[in-house]
């Protein structure tokens, strides 16, 4: 599949044929299993100032929290009880809080005490940090590159270099060499983003041979500079467009794990998550962050916390999956 074909698929009047093709590929590579991965949002403290994010350092109105290690391990134990297989430990970028030693110790504890696979998502970090965490047993690292358009990337990430290698692509390549399964992806509908650049982003996922694809719509946060930016985007913020990107990612990377994201459910609380699965996604990430903290992890506002970790909510989710002929599997 080349760039011209991707652009045609992104702009075709109807996406149904594309979604059907992606479902066939997913069935061949993944069967009817959907992985459930427990998302734990460790902390809303962040040193960075990404223009789109409600947790940016300069947003003095944001309430900050940081979970204790025992609370995090308890969330991983809950993931095990629910049959999930993996926890995703995600936090704002703050090396002083999430030191090399602390994260390595946490990874060891989670693996030893709960047997869960560990995906880390702690932002841009030094090679020695990610090496130490891999050594401690971390399995995967998720770092969205957000866009391959260098000007746009630099505009929305203050301090990011405009020249040389894209810092996040460079880190993803390093981590692949360190033995991680890597996850990359982008935001769709950023002010000033073009369809061509989204096609480039999709091709970059294939070039990197990512193991996981994390992509979702851009949801404006009113307390951020980008939330007030009226620059138009060629890229629609919609469930349909996001699902086309899931489907294309599935065709470009047949074996990749592709979560149907929280941002998609926020756009369409009734159907968003399932439409993601119906267009080739195969992972769902229930939010296991304790309720007391959840509302303070706000990259964008009105986030749907997809499912509370109560069995009845999971039952409802399993019933939804069954309507698509899918079922939860551990992994």
With respect to ligand SF4, which residue has the nearer C-beta, 48 or 134?
Answer: 48
299 makes contact with ligand SF4 (CB under 6 A): yes
Tally of CB atoms within 10 A around 211: 19
Handedness of CA 63, 157, 38, 324 (dihedral sign): positive
> Under the phi-then-psi rule, with left for phi > 0, alpha for psi from -120 to 50, and beta for the rest, what region is 278?
alpha
Residue from 6, 9, 46, 188 in contact with ligand SF4 (CB under 6 A) = 46
Q: How many residues does the chain have?
A: 331
Sign of the CA dihedral with 288 first, then 218, 298, and 180 last = positive
Closer to ligand SF4 by CB, 40 or 317: give it: 40
Q: Is 131 helix (H, G, I), strand (E, B) or coil?
A: helix
Are the C-beta atoms of 309 and 288 separated by less than 8 Å?
Answer: yes
207 touches 188 (CB < 8 A) = no
Q: Considering only residues 195-254, where is the footprint of ligand SF4 by CB under 6 A? A: none
DSSP string, 239-293: HHHHHHHHHHHHHHSTT-B-B--HHHHHH-TTTHHHHHHTTT--EE--B-S-HHH
- Tokens 């061509």: give the residue: 196
What's the maximum distance between 2 C-alpha atoms anywhere in the chain? 52
Nearer to ligand SF4, 282 or 298 (CB): 298
Min dist CB 86 to ligand SF4, Å, is 21
Name which of 44 and 282 has its Cβ closer to ligand SF4: 44
- If one asks whether residue 53 binds ligand SF4 (CB under 6 A), the answer comes out as yes
Q: Which is nearer to ligand SF4, 144 or 244 (CB)?
A: 144
Residue 50 in the binding site for ligand SF4 (CB under 6 A):
yes
The interface region with ligand SF4, picked from 48-56, 181-189, 239-247, 263-271 by CB under 6 A, is 48-56
Q: How far is the CB of 56 from ligand SF4 (least distance, A)?
A: 4
Stretch that binds ligand SF4, among 10-18, 51-59, 71-79, 186-194 (CB under 6 A): 51-59
- Compare residues 171 and 282 and give the one whose CB is closer to ligand SF4: 171
Q: Provide, rounded to whole angstroms, the least separation between the CB of residue 300 and ligand SF4.
A: 10
> Cα(331)–Cα(326) distance, rounded to whole angstroms?
15
- Part of the chain binding ligand SF4 (CB under 6 A), chosen from 52-60, 238-246, 261-269, 322-330: 52-60
Backbone angles phi, psi at 217, to 5 degrees: -70, 150
Strand partners, 87: 38, 118
> Could you tell me the smallest distance in angstroms from the CB atom of residue 59 to ligand SF4?
9
CA distance 85 to 111: 11
Q: Which of residues 54-113 bind ligand SF4 (CB under 6 A)?
A: 55-56, 92-93
Number of residues that bind ligand SF4 (CB under 6 A): 10
Q: How far apart are CA 247 and CA 280, in angstroms?
A: 5
Q: Please, what is the minimum distance in Å from the beta carbon of residue 123 to ligand SF4? A: 5
Stretch that binds ligand SF4, among 25-33, 47-55, 199-207, 300-308 (CB under 6 A): 47-55
Cβ closest to ligand SF4, residue 19 vs residue 293: 293
CA-nearest of 86, 116, 80, 41 to 298 is: 41
Candidate list 38, 85, 123, 276; residue touching ligand SF4; CB under 6 A: 123
User: Which C-beta is closer to ligand SF4: that of 9 or that of 120?
Assistant: 120
Q: Which residues bind ligand SF4 (CB under 6 A)?
A: 46, 48, 50, 53, 55-56, 92-93, 123, 299
């Amino acid at each position: 599949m080349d760039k011209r074909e991707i652009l045609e698929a992104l702009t075709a009047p109807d996406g149904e044929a594309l979604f059907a093709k992606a479902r066939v590929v997913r069935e061949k590579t993944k069967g009817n299993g959907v992985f459930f991965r427990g998302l734990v949002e460790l902390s809303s403290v962040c040193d960075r100032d990404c223009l789109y994010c409600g947790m940016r350092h300069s947003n003095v109105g944001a309430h900050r929290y940081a979970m204790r290690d025992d609370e995090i391990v308890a969330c991983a134990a809950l993931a095990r009880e629910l049959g999930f297989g993996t926890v995703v430990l995600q936090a704002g970028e703050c090396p002083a809080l999430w030191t090399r030693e602390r994260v390595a110790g946490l990874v060891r504890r989670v693996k030893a005490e709960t047997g869960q696979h560990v995906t880390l998502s702690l932002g841009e970090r030094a090679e020695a940090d990610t090496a130490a965490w891999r050594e401690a047993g971390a399995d995967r690292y998720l770092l969205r590159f957000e866009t391959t358009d260098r000007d746009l990337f630099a505009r929305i990430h203050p301090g990011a270099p405009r020249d040389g290698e894209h810092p996040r692509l460079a880190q993803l390549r390093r981590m692949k060499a360190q033995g991680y399964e890597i996850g990359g992806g982008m935001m769709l509908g950023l002010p000033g983003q073009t369809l061509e650049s989204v096609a480039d982003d999709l091709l970059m996922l294939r070039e990197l041979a990512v193991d996981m694809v994390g992509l979702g719509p851009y949801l404006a946060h009113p307390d951020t500079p980008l939330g007030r930016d009226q620059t138009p985007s060629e890229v629609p913020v919609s469930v349909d467009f996001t699902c086309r990107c899931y489907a294309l990612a599935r065709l470009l990377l047949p074996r990749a794990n592709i979560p149907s994201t929280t941002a998609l459910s926020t756009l369409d609380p009734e159907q968003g998550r399932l439409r993601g699965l119906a267009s080739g996604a195969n992972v769902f990430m229930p939010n296991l962050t304790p309720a007391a903290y959840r509302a303070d992890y706000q990259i964008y506002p009105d986030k749907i916390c997809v499912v509370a970790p109560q069995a009845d909510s999971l039952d409802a989710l399993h019933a939804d999956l069954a309507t698509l002929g899918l079922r939860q599997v551990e992994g």
